[in-house]
Structures are given as C-alpha cells and as structure tokens.
C-alpha cells in the first residue's frame, strides 16, 4: 500500500509540475506562434533589432528582416532640430561594403527604411555616413543569433 501511495504522490507531483510549467509558458507559446505566423505571411525567417549609436550614445534602433526581399528599417532621434543627409551602407561578413541608398534624418524626419540587396544573415553593420565621409551613426547586427539584442 505504501508503494501505491508513494507512486501516486510522484505522479501527482509530476502532473502539478507539468501543469505549472505549461501555465508559466503559455504566454510565451502564444507570442512564438504569432511571430511564426507573421514570418510565414511574409515568407521570412527572422527579425533582428540593434541599437543605433551616434556620437552621444544610443540614438535609435535598427530593425532587420530576413525574407524575400530582406529589408532594414531605422528609427532615430538625433540631437538638434536640423535635418542631416547621409549615405547609408551595410557591411557584410566578408567585409564587402554595399550602398543601400540615402537618408535625410533629424528634425521631424526620424525614420529610414530600404530593401537590402543581400541576405540579412550576411550583414554585420549598417552605417549612416555624412557628406564629409565620416560614419555618424552605426548599428552592429548579429543576424547569426536573431534572438540577441545589442
């Protein structure tokens, strides 16, 4: 009889633990399902987000999407109110620099977005280069670990 009570206690403990784990993870599972559904709708495989750094520190966030096409989108809050022009380029894992257009940022212009001509998985850096050739804003992208955030 003691063996039956002990076995029943173990089964109840396992069941309670499993139920508790399911309840604790159910919100995460719903988020993951939503994330997969969004990616499936756009034929994509992952998103990344990284900090955009300027001379004064973090000034925004760059988002990247691996899909067909892949794209990058940045939101920034630049100090001062005047608009600034930038050439935008990305750097690949092999060190190749690729121009991905231009951006006017500052004042009320706080976003930039563009399709990118390479897989996001190959991108390591996105740079906003001022007319004098100086890199003014930079975001380092770790697409090998899309769940990381920098």
For the cut 90, the answer to whether the pLDDT of residue 132 exceeds it is: yes
Rounded to two decimals, what is the model's pTM? 0.74
Alpha-carbon distance of 109 to 113, in angstroms, equals 12
Separation in Å, CA 50 to CA 38, 126, 150? 20, 10, 5
More confidently predicted of 90 and 29:
90
Distance separating alpha carbons of residues 48 and 124, to the nearest angstrom? 11
Backbone angles phi, psi at 31, to 5 degrees: -65, -45
**For residue 11, what pLDDT is reported?**
58
CA neighbor of 146 nearest in space, from 121, 128, 127, 122: 121
- Of 3.30.70.3270, 2.60.40.200, 3.90.1150.10, 3.90.550.10, the CATH number of 46-140 is 2.60.40.200
Closest to 114 measured CA to CA, from 123, 105, 102: 102
68 compared with 141, residue with greater pLDDT: 141
On whether the CB atoms of residues 126 and 112 are closer than 8 A, the answer is: no
pLDDT over 60 (residue 150): no
Does residue 10 surpass a pLDDT of 90? no
Identify whether the C-beta of residue 136 lies closer than 8 Å to the C-beta of residue 128. Answer: yes
CB count in 10 Å sphere of residue 128: 28
- Tell me which residue of 99, 89, 105 sits closest to 141, measured CA to CA: 89
pLDDT in tens, 39-93: 666 666 788 899 999 999 999 999 998 888 889 999 999 987 789 999 999 999 9
């Amino acid at each position: 009889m003691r063996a039956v009570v002990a076995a029943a206690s173990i089964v109840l403990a396992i069941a309670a633990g499993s139920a508790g784990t399911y309840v604790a993870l159910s919100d995460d599972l719903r988020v993951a399902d939503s994330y997969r559904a969004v990616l499936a709708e756009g034929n994509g495989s992952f998103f990344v987000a990284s900090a955009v750094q300027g001379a004064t520190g973090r000034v925004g966030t760059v988002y990247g999407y691996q899909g067909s096409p892949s794209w990058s989108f940045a939101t920034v809050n630049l100090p001062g109110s005047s608009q600034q022009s930038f050439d935008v380029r990305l750097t690949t894992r092999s060190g190749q620099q690729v121009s991905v257009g231009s951006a006017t940022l500052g004042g009320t212009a706080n976003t930039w977005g563009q399709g990118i001509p390479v897989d996001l998985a190959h991108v390591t850096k996105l740079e906003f280069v001022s007319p004098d050739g100086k890199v003014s804003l930079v975001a380092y992208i770790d697409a090998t670990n899309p769940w990381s955030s920098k």
